[in-house]
Copies of this chain bind each other. A is one copy, B any other.
């Protein structure tokens, strides 16, 4: 059993059920969009973000219907950013598959990303998940700011340590933070616990990105 399987064990049933939820959330009546969506689902990753959501909810009192919506919203946003990243990086390959960009060009990738953002938004709004929306939309703003901060600073090669931490906090850690906060909130916990879970996720996200960057550096 791998470490990832061990971590996933207590919530394996929820993660399986989540996949059906997520596929339903992405469905579209426009055939071209539906083809893109099926393609995106096939190349799914390790599902680290849904795991953070379900584990946090379980730790804070138990998984609810609201936990599934939280995981779907965050995964929709994350997928939207990946699709948009494909455009901006002009990368043709992601996780060994051809990127959406390479196959359907920039125009479709930008629109598909926007579609995913709006689907996530509607999913939350239709269920009056306003606390969840507040937790997550702050993260979206910080992620785009973090990416742009990185572009700006990368031009000069003298990034000081505090700027580095600010960049990885914004571009990576806030999304993990919102997973943990949303999980706690979906289990009915109060503002103070939600804020503490946010901080836990933020630190976990910084540790994750720091390690990832170190591996890149050693290559």
A interface residues with partner B (beta carbon < 8 Å) = 28-33, 81, 84, 87-90, 106-108, 110-115, 117-119, 121-122, 125-126, 128, 130, 133-134, 137-138, 140-141, 143-145, 147-149, 151-152
Partner of A111, one of B88, B108, B130: B88
B33 lies within 8 A of A111 (CB): no
Q: List 5 A-B contacts (CB under 8 A).
A: A28-B145, A88-B106, A108-B148, A112-B148, A122-B141
Whether A118 and B137, one on each chain, are in contact in the complex, defined by CB atoms closer than 8 angstroms, is: yes
Q: Evaluate contact between B152 and A140: CB separation under 8 angstroms.
A: no
Q: Which residues of B contact A31 (CB under 8 A)?
A: 152
| CA of A182 to CA of B181, assembled, Å | 31
**Is the pair B148, A111 in contact by a Cβ cutoff of 8 Å?**
yes
Given known contacts A28-B145, A32-B151, A117-B140, what 12 new A-B pairs fall within 8 Å (CB)?
A: A30-B148, A32-B149, A84-B111, A89-B107, A107-B147, A110-B110, A110-B113, A114-B117, A118-B140, A122-B137, A122-B141, A130-B130
The reply to whether A121 and B121 contact each other, CB–CB distance below 8 Å, is yes
Residues of chain B contacted by A88 (CB below 8 angstroms): 106-107, 110-111
> With a CB–CB cut-off of 8 A, which chain B residues contact A81?
114
Q: In the bound complex, do residue A137 and residue B110 qualify as a contact, i.e. CB atoms below 8 Å apart?
A: no
Q: Is the CB of B118 within 8 A of A148?
A: no
A128 to B164, CA, bound (A): 34
CB-defined contacts of A107 to chain B, threshold 8 Å: 87-89, 147, 151
Taking A121-B137, A144-B111 as contacts, is the C-beta distance between A149 and B87 under 8 angstroms?
A: no
